[in-house]
Amino acid sequence: VSTQSTGERGRDLIVTIPVGSIVGCQQSQKPLIELDTEDEVFVAARGGRGGEGNRSVSSRVSFGRGRYACREKEEGEDGQLSKLYLEMKIIADIGLVGLPNAGKSSLLRAISGAQPKIASYPFTTLRPHQGIIHYDGYYRVRMADIPGLIEGSSLGRGLGFSFLRHIERCKSLLYVVDMSNTDCGPIETIGILEKELEAYKPGMTENIVGIVANKIDLLHGPQKIIEMARAFPQYPVMPISALEQRNIVAVRNVLEPFKFLYAHQSEADMEMYD
């Protein structure tokens, strides 16, 4: 067996992550880099370096039969150890924004087939749930059910900072309003949501693409829907009943322009998001 060995050379471990991911330090909880372009590489930890001796640094003093004295050696170096976290900056194309118990999870179920928890009490959803809306031709749109906001969320009330951070990671937003809420009317509800979004990050309301007027099965007429449409003419208003799956097609139609976002992606890329 040859003794002129150099040791095993380890292979690089390459982890593929979606474009838009943030890599951060687990200890300091600070981001290190945002990988926002395709094929961008970040070296998280470098491997160790082998030591040198015998053949590499042996003296030229021969002991016969091709053997040389090893007068010095160089120790190897350990590899780096890094504890990192990964965070998706963009978690969905469409985020559902509303007060607690507005029916966001029910809408996500009705339109995508996702299975978030549904209950009749506020704050049923404590973390975002994702669903995929399918269109013809293998086109898709990712939708996220964001935990409900309350007045004062931008000041940290009710885990507000955490919930608002999720909203910031959606490309576009839909307001979901409980039209049957007698404690807070639909127009007042939109005012609260707009105030909290802008207080957290100015300009965030520019990502709103429509208003979902939910729970129309509990209304006794169209008056509230008409008032909503007049108060916010800049948005399409979609009256639906997520529970009864009534008029869900209206939401699908409004979101259809977003489906081209995946037209250029491979199946491998799509599986990464599923």
Using an 8 Å Cβ cutoff, are 257 and 263 in contact? no
Q: What percent of the chain has pLDDT over 70?
A: 71
Is the confidence at residue 76, as pLDDT, over 80? no
Using an 8 Å Cβ cutoff, are 175 and 214 in contact? no
Strands annotated E in 26-71: 30-35, 62-64, 67-68
Lowest mean pLDDT among 66-80, 175-189, 219-233: 66-80
Summarize pLDDT for 122-144 with one digit per residue, the tens: 445 456 788 889 888 778 888 98
Q: Give how far Cα 155 sits from Cα of 150, 162, 163, 168, 195, Å.
A: 10, 11, 12, 16, 11
Question: What's the pTM?
Answer: 0.66
Using an 8 Å Cβ cutoff, are 172 and 157 in contact? no
